[in-house]
Amino acid sequence: MGRLQLHNLTKVFSSGDNRIVAVDDLDVTVEDGEFLVLVGPSGCGKSTTLRCIAGLERVSTGQITLDGRDITDKKPKERDMAMVFQNYALYPHMTVRENIGYGLKITSDLSSDEIGSRVEDTARLLEIEDLLDKEPSDLSGGQQQRVALGRAIIREPEVFLMDEPLSNLDAKLRTTMRTEIQQLQQDMDITTIYVTHDQTEAMTMGDRIAVLDGGELQQIDEPLDCYHRPNNRFVAGFIGSPSMNFLSVRRDGDQLTHDAFEYTLSETTLDDLRDTDVNLTLGIRPEHIELAGGDHRNAIPTTIEVVEPMGEVTYGYFEIGETTYTVSVEGERRLEAGQDVHVVFPERKIHLFDGDTGDAVKNSELDEPAETVRV
């Protein structure tokens, strides 16, 4: 079992008068067998959180428990966790076989025959049997990362901790390894905490995502909930690529006023708003913007400045006021630079955030839940 809990975890780094709160009062429960992704921009405290969990960093205040046992002050090797780093950290003068088996050799009473057979099993699982007698310098980045995974897997820990394990790999290999790690994690059913700054990895790999900013937890939810129902403007802007578009507006009665347009709200949306919701940010995802005729309610005239065909979709960039925004249309539709259009932000799909705190006031409405695809 591996139910990991962080209770008000705080980590402060101090040197002289300088005080950095790297992790701020984090309360997170990772269920047994769950794959949790910690995601956020550089410096938001992801690695420090992981290092506290691994026991490589002393926590300032708070508690870490594994299946209810307090492990806050336990040494790393007493925690039954295995960590995989970005830089592989393989021993350069050992073969792959020795690298994978080394951890067991120094931490267990297993005989060398038993260790040898577990190394072979692990190598088979990772499809690197033919590399066992090579040294790390003979391996590609992807192969080295597989060996690093092997070293973690062979220990059969209660928890895997992974710190940006794919960021040294090229884009194609990253995609392949992403799927492999997910598959392995599902097969082994081991609680996993995976750190990344890449929102695509977070969206595609995690059972749930914990989004951090400035050491503070912004949201912990299933990926699609973070995408469609962000708690605040930070999560809305961080999750999703290209990012959500944001426009500062003021509300006067049923009108949202921007320097360049006015937008009339319906009763349904007004019901969600408080009288104090005056200074707002309107958010709209690129794929939710419609290009329509000028007679459409709330249509805003503009010009497509730049077109980026991606194949499956095409991105168009247009300006409202001085700011550039993005629309995404199906790849089969033609969009041309210089084309005059009217953009419409369908009311069901807009988000409204408090202009001061950034908290979500209204999120987009989801269509009827899609039926699960059956084959």
Which residues of this chain interact with ligand ATP, rule CB under 6 A? 13, 20, 22, 40, 42-48, 197
Name the DSSP class of 136: G
The three-class DSSP label of residue 51 is: helix
Of 14 and 255, CB closest to ligand ATP: 14
Selection from 121, 116, 120 nearest residue 104 by Cα = 116
CB 20 to ligand ATP: min, Å: 5
Which residues is 290 bridged to in the sheet?
A: 344
CB 60 to ligand ATP: min, Å: 12
CB 165 to ligand ATP: min, Å: 13
CB 15 to ligand ATP: min, Å: 7
CB 39 to ligand ATP: min, Å: 9
Q: Name the amino acid, one letter, at 296.
A: H
Of 86 and 281, CB closest to ligand ATP: 86
What Rg, from alpha-carbon coordinates, does the chain have? 25
CB 66 to ligand ATP: min, Å: 21
CB 235 to ligand ATP: min, Å: 15
Of 123 and 202, CB closest to ligand ATP: 202
DSSP per-residue letters across 110-134: --HHHHHHHHHHHHHHTT-GGGTTS
Of 47 and 269, CB closest to ligand ATP: 47
> How is the beta sheet containing 290-292 ordered, strand by strand?
290-292, 340-344, 300-309, 313-320, 323-330
Of 97 and 174, CB closest to ligand ATP: 174
Of 22 and 282, CB closest to ligand ATP: 22
Query: Helix 141-153 vs helix 112-125: angle between axes, to the nearest 10 degrees?
Result: 130
> How is the beta sheet containing 191-196 ordered, strand by strand?
81-84, 159-163, 191-196, 35-39, 208-213, 216-221
Which are the contacts of 114, defined by CB distance < 8 A and separation ≥ 6?
A: none
Query: How many helices (H) and strands (E) would you count in the chain?
Result: 9, 21
Of 19 and 172, CB closest to ligand ATP: 19
